[in-house]
Structure 1
Amino acid sequence: MSMILFACVVRLRDGLPLSASTDFHHNQDFLECRKRLKMLSLILTQFPGRGTAEGHDLSIHFDSFGAVACMGICSRSYPVAMAFCFLEALRWEFTASYDDTSIGLASRPYAFLKFDSVIQKVKWHFNYASSSQLKNHLEKIQEELALQPPLVMRLEDIEVMNGLRNSHSPVQVEYAPNYRMKPVTALGILSLILNIMCAALNLIRGIHLAEHSFQCYLYLFYSSTRLLKVAIILFFICLCNIYLHGLRNLWQILFHIGVAFLSSYQILTRQLRDKVFDSGV
């Protein structure tokens, strides 16, 4: 059925919805068209006063003048001249009810929602009135459209225009090239084998070096233990010698102790050096 399905009034400078009809349809095409209408309302300043966005079954018409723009969703078969008659009548009613100051000060969406009753009345009149009742107004609009045809676009183009306005470039889907790895050559296989052999030899060499170093450290620890034992024995002998000779002066006691430690250190150092040289460190 050819009819007007939805209408709204928006502020032209920023697309703020001021009032709209409360009609709601669960048709998916209608919901998609409502989404495109909202996108279009944000970029109306880029277009002339009148325009049409055509879809498969539905179309969006807009008529902008002054501070506001009236927009409507109609079936594709609804006459274009009738649609613009409806939008012009709606704009007259709205500008007669609200001045430019109140329109400019509106800060929230649908600030003039009470105007919905007027939208419903005008919409019903154009949906069910005969052509003879609208003859004079219709002839005037047809003459204006003949002199200055409205802009015609597709619904699909609205999303692209809105994306360019927000600095979003259209997404281009490209297939990535299919890269394949080249087979390994004989020279590459030989290089891989030599690298593995070198790594294995270095690993074996490192194990032997760690084992040899561990043995040397173990021997040094054992030698240090022997040095401590010899030092204790010599110290004990030194005490006995001091007791037997009856030494009383402190420097004589310290002298004997020092000689005992030095003798034990020289003996064990000589043994340690001979052991290290024999082991090939």
Structure 2
Amino acid sequence: MIHFAIVSRSTDGLALVANSDSPLVSMHPGLEDAQRKIKLLSRISARFPDRCSLYCGSYVIHFITALDLTLLVLCDVTYPQVLAFSFLSDLQKEFLVFFDKQKVLTVQRPYSLIDFDIPLQRLKHRYNNPRSLNTKVNLQVLSEELRLRPPYVLCEEELRPGYGQRSNNEVTTTAASPFMRYLPLHFVGIVSLSLSCFCALLNFTRAVHIINDTHAHIGQEFDTEHYQTGATFFVCCFLSLYQSYLICYPHKRRKALACATLGSICVCQLYLYEHRSIFGLIFHVTVACYGTFVIITRQMQSKLPQYTL
């Protein structure tokens, strides 16, 4: 069930409205601690991504940040996540209908919008009786959204004062690194990835062939150059696979790594110019340049500012 909900202003953490404390607080110390944490989160929500969850033993806090508002809910850990975020979405809609944005931005005192307490209690009562929601709430779209972009799970360490701050007191988003990801790979990227894997396969088969051929003539004369050539083909195979990795997975130094990989591939092709045709050299270098272009230009998917459900 839902125990507590609060709406705050995300720009400065000012609490605007919250429902009355649950009578179960004094009976359950864990609930009291979770309620303390949700009030703390309402003040520091600007540090975190726009959709988060914090697990507190038998309870969980979910919150979203959108349109200069942070909406938080404290519920049992067994309460369905999709219902909790649906509650926050409905809470946001009703709050913005009840108060205009200018009113929200000009409030100076905490809990000044207590007039919203009755609609908040009514909405909370509805979501604590899920049977009444079967015909009123369409959860399919939200369920898919949560599956594709699940909430970032906070740890209690991130609630400490000063966590995620730089020396110049600039607040950073503690979840930026795990939250960053590539946008879906489009046709151009798929072609580049396929060609890089194909080049890796060609290099691998060529390396195996040269090593086997060297072993077949091992009794005649030991040829170091053949082993070096085979090793170079293996290196080319590794570089092509690494380029494929950079195409698929983001790295904070991906541009420098992509350029270094391209340079290494070109050097290897120069070494192998006697063992490839001109067409083969041009093909491998072109594929490497194409892959580097895809890596450098591929867009990142980061936190969506002012996201609304």
Per the normalisation by structure 1, the TM-score is 0.54
Q: CA deviation at 1:132?
A: 6.2
Give, in whole Å, the separation in 2 of the partners of 1:90 and 1:16.
17
Q: CA deviation at 1:136?
A: 4.8
Q: Match for residue 109 of structure 1?
A: 110
Residue 134 to residue 75, structure 1, CA distance change in 2 (3 Å): farther
Give, in whole Å, the separation in 2 of the partners of 1:166 and 1:49.
18
Give, in whole Å, the separation in 2 of the partners of 1:11 and 1:54.
23
Q: Match for residue 163 of structure 2?
A: 164
Give, in whole Å, the separation in 2 of the partners of 1:136 and 1:113.
26
Q: CA deviation at 1:59?
A: 0.6
Runs ≥4 residues deviating over 4 A: 165-168
Q: CA deviation at 1:164?
A: 2.3
Is it true that 1:17 corresponds to 2:18 in the alignment?
A: no
Q: CA deviation at 1:39?
A: 2.0
Q: CA deviation at 1:15?
A: 1.1
User: If each structure's helix is expressed as a fraction of its own residues, which one has the higher value?
Assistant: 1
Give, in whole Å, the separation in 2 of the partners of 1:132 and 1:42.
31
Q: Deviations over 1:203-256 (max 9, x none)?
A: xxxxxxxxxxxxxxxxxxxxxxxxxxxxxxxxxxxxxxxxxxxxxxxxxxxxxx
Q: Deviations over 1:132-167 (max 9, x none)?
A: 61575211211111221111123x22433x342688
Residue 67 to residue 159, structure 1, CA distance change in 2 (3 Å): closer
Asked if the contact 2:7/2:42 (under 8 Å) is kept, the reply is no
Q: Match for residue 201 of structure 1?
A: none
Q: Supply the AA of the counterpart residue of 1:68.
A: L
Per the normalisation by structure 2, the TM-score is 0.50
Q: Match for residue 66 of structure 1?
A: 67
Q: Deviations over 1:46-83 (max 9, x none)?
A: 22221100121011110111011110100011111110
Give, in whole Å, the separation in 2 of the partners of 1:57 and 1:141.
24
Is it true that 1:139 corresponds to 2:137 in the alignment?
A: no
Give, in whole Å, the separation in 2 of the partners of 1:20 and 1:97.
15
Asked if the contact 1:70/1:87 (under 8 Å) is kept, the reply is yes
Where structure 1 has 5 or more consecutive residues not aligned to the other structure, the ranges are 169-281
Q: Which is greater in Rg?
A: 1
- Tell me the secondary structure at the aligned position of residue 107 of structure 1: coil
Give, in whole Å, the separation in 2 of the partners of 1:71 and 1:114.
18
Q: Match for residue 52 of structure 1?
A: 53
Identity of aligned residues (%): 32
Q: Supply the AA of the counterpart residue of 2:71.
A: C
Cα RMSD, aligned residues only: 2.1
Give the length in aligned residue pairs. 164
Give, in whole Å, the separation in 1 of the partners of 2:29 and 2:47.
28
Asked if the contact 1:59/1:75 (under 8 Å) is kept, the reply is yes
Residue 134 to residue 64, structure 1, CA distance change in 2 (3 Å): farther
Q: Deviations over 1:87-141 (max 9, x none)?
A: 1101100011111111110000001011111111001101113286157521121
Asked if the contact 1:18/1:111 (under 8 Å) is kept, the reply is yes
Asked if the contact 2:127/2:133 (under 8 Å) is kept, the reply is no
Q: Match for residue 233 of structure 1?
A: none
1:119-198 counterparts in 2 under 5 A?
119-130=120-131, 133=134, 136-154=137-155, 156-160=156-160, 162-164=161-163
Residue 134 to residue 153, structure 1, CA distance change in 2 (3 Å): farther
- Tell me the secondary structure at the aligned position of residue 152 of structure 1: strand
Q: Supply the AA of the counterpart residue of 1:13.
A: T
Q: Match for residue 4 of structure 1?
A: 2
Asked if the contact 1:36/1:158 (under 8 Å) is kept, the reply is no
Asked if the contact 2:87/2:127 (under 8 Å) is kept, the reply is yes
1:228-267 counterparts in 2 under 5 A?
none
Residue 139 to residue 11, structure 1, CA distance change in 2 (3 Å): same
